[in-house]
Copies of this chain bind each other. A is one copy, B any other.
Amino acid sequence: MATIRDVAKEAGVSVATVSRVLNETGYVHADTRKRVTEAMKNLNYSPNEVARSLYKKKSKLIGLLLPDITNPFFPQLARGVEDELQKDGYRILFGNSDENAEKELDYLNTFIQNNVVGIISATNNKSKTNYDGLSIPVVFLDRTSSDYPSVYADGKEGGRIAAEEIVKRGSKRITLLKGPAHIQPAQDRFQGALEELSRSDIDFHVMSTTSFAFEDAVKWAKELFSMYPDTDGVLASNDIVATAILHEALRLGKAIPKDIQIIGFDDIPQSSLLFPSLSTIRQPAYEMGKEAAQLLIKLINKQSVHQQHIQMPVTFIERHTTRKVDTNG
């Protein structure tokens, strides 16, 4: 690898001059610039980002921390983040935390040690204290925070809409699935649905679940139908869980949506590919990723940001696990 000194020698100038043409700062004579540019080309020179980063105490790297890229909701987020950051020349240092505080802290440390210039975190771990005292901007994604900038979907409203839609479509004995207690977005959507159902004159049960893993969800699905066999509507905590419910209902020979309606949450890509395709509350994951990235870039550039907390709209996606609404109703 050629260094700036090699280029300087080749062009017969000092390193300062090379640096000036590199960064387009200060004065450089047109002829000199040309000589330097050619020397760079000859030597196939490309500046060492590490040396730059050391002196400037800032890199072109940002840290992205996700709970688990294997969960189909997150690749969309990640892609939104990347597409947006890439435009400004930022690169991503990436890690999965598994919602494990130790892993999270570990990644945060290496982010800092590598001079990242900003962090986007979609973890849901309580210990936000991990982020206190950081001297670089952090934006939380898929998570609310009063202390830090954040981008999240309106989970409560989503839960409300789901409840409203399923009631509107005639379910009378609803089971409401309450997601993991430590995942705030799951609790928001649960609250929204709970409030809306309480307001209605519908019978409903609440069933607690503790993870979003499909294998676990299958167990809850079986439990649900054995405990509440006459359930005719399920509000699932996310699309993974909804898929498990759908499977179990089909296995039991229930007609969908005639005997039982199901509404999921997230609108992960596979939801439209199920059969019957899943009605769900859509979170605009890709756009959320982009928003978070844009917000972070503004923060990095110390531009003023009108809104530190960006709430994204949530929409009901009507597919085939819900009935057509009775317009005569």
Contacts and interface: CB of A to CB of B under 8 A. Distances in A.
A222 to B, nearest CB: 16
A94 B92 contact: yes
Interface residues of A, number: 47
A114 interface: yes
A237 B112 CA distance: 43
Interface string A219-254: 000000000000000000000000100110010000
A25 to B, nearest CB: 20
A126 B145 CA distance: 46
Given A53-B50, A113-B46, A114-B50, A250 B273 contact: no
A78 B69 contact: yes
Given A214-B273, A273-B247, A49 B93 contact: no
A113 B79 contact: no
Most chain B beta-carbon contacts within 10 A, residue among A1, A53, A74, A112: A53
A314 B114 CA distance: 39
B72 A269 contact: yes
A12 interface: no
B93 A91 contact: yes
A137 interface: no
Nearest to A275: B275
A274 interface: yes
Nearest to A72: B72
Nearest to A49: B113
A54 B51 CA distance: 6
A158 interface: no
A14 B69 CA distance: 44
Interface of A: 1, 46-51, 53-54, 59-61, 64, 68-70, 72, 74-76, 78-79, 82, 86, 91-96, 107, 109-110, 112-115, 214, 243, 246-247, 250, 269-270, 273-275
23 contacts: A1-B112, A48-B115, A49-B113, A49-B115, A50-B53, A50-B54, A50-B59, A50-B115, A61-B114, A70-B269, A72-B269, A79-B96, A82-B94, A91-B93, A91-B95, A91-B114, A92-B93, A92-B95, A93-B94, A214-B269, A243-B273, A270-B270, A270-B273
